[in-house]
Amino acid sequence: MTERLPIGVSIRTIRAEPSWWLESAKRLDVAGYDGVWAWDHFVGQGDRTVPVVEGWTILAMAAAATTHATVGTFVANVMNRHPAVLARMASTLQIASGGRFVLGMGIGGGPKEHAAYGIDFPEPKERAARLEEAIAVIRALWTGGPVTRDSPFYPLVDAHARPVPEPPPPIIIGGETPAGARLAGRIGDGWSAFDVNFAENLPLYLEALEASGRRRGDQRVLVGFQGDWLGDAAIGDSEWCREPRAAWERWHEIGADGAILLARTSSDVDALVEAVDRW
């Protein structure tokens, strides 16, 4: 295999079983993929009776079963957990993985999923405000504490959080809208967006980043390929498998530091593993 490309794989957690997910993660890690990523859903988005792997739990198992790949959330829904709890979860994963964890966060979607589990689902503006406050809470707790905050959504009183992750995990904000891109540029350690929105919103992210006084070189910008990116085609017929280096160079020229591909089936994982020989 030639040099590694910064290509990771989001392994579907909906219509999946834990044993399959974990075995796929191990195969992709050995093959040389840059990261394995998990969704943060509790039920299927269409048929809510299908099996769903809980993302954080399987990532913890993947951290123990892999050696070099990043393990990360793509992306964690801010509404699903109190950020103080999420800070502890992320800290443990970062330490246990030897510094390989990346915390992807977003404002969430799917009101039916939230209603099914009794989770509040306010309007996007409030969810964005909660995300900003949650990130502040998480970063404060990653200092170890004590942390006391009198804030609108997540007040804390003398909160301690040890052990401290060194270094703290990067927080990459997933955002498909102009507002999401700007928020990532203003407070995130990076930004992720799917291919259909990436080029359009990248300038907004960069403008917000420059206004924040932070450096582009300290950020990680990821382009994701999810949902219907293949249509009815097999993943092995995609440019990412036929000519992975050319595909990567094209998106890198647009402005991405890394790519995340979706693996939906065992056949997808097979094709991705075989494609490494063409890197």
Full DSSP string of 99-116 = S-EEEEEE----HHHHHH
pLDDT digits (tens, 9 = 90+) for 13-50: 999 999 999 999 999 999 999 999 999 999 998 888 99
Given a contact cutoff of 8 angstroms between Cβ atoms, the answer to whether 103 and 76 are in contact is yes
pLDDT in tens, 111-146: 999 999 999 999 999 999 999 999 999 999 999 999
Q: How confident is the model at residue 165 (pLDDT cuts 50, 70, 90)?
A: very high
pLDDT of 228: 62
Please determine, for residue 173, whether its predicted confidence score (pLDDT) is greater than 80: yes
Percent of the chain with pLDDT over 70: 98
| pLDDT higher than 60, residue 2 | no
Q: What is the pLDDT of residues 227-274, one digit of tens each?
A: 666 777 788 888 999 999 999 999 999 999 999 999 999 999 999 999
pLDDT of residue 85: 98
Cα 224 to Cα 10, 123, 257: the distances in Å are 9, 25, 11
Is 224 in contact with 10 (CB distance < 8 Å)?
yes
Residues 165, 159 contacting (CB under 8 angstroms): no
Across all residues in the chain, what is the average pLDDT? Answer: 95
What are the residue ranges spanned by the domains of the chain? 7-278
Please give the C-alpha separations between residue 277 and each of 197, 241, 242, 251, 264, in angstroms, as whole numbers. Answer: 30, 10, 10, 20, 21
What average pLDDT does the segment 79-105 reach? Answer: 98
Q: Is the pLDDT of residue 4 over 80?
A: no
Q: 7-278: which CATH topology?
A: TIM Barrel (3.20.20)
Each residue of 199-232: b (16+ CB within 10 Å) or e?
eebbebbbebbeeeebeeeebbbbbbbbeebbee
Name the band, by pLDDT with cuts 50, 70 and 90, for residue 1.
very low
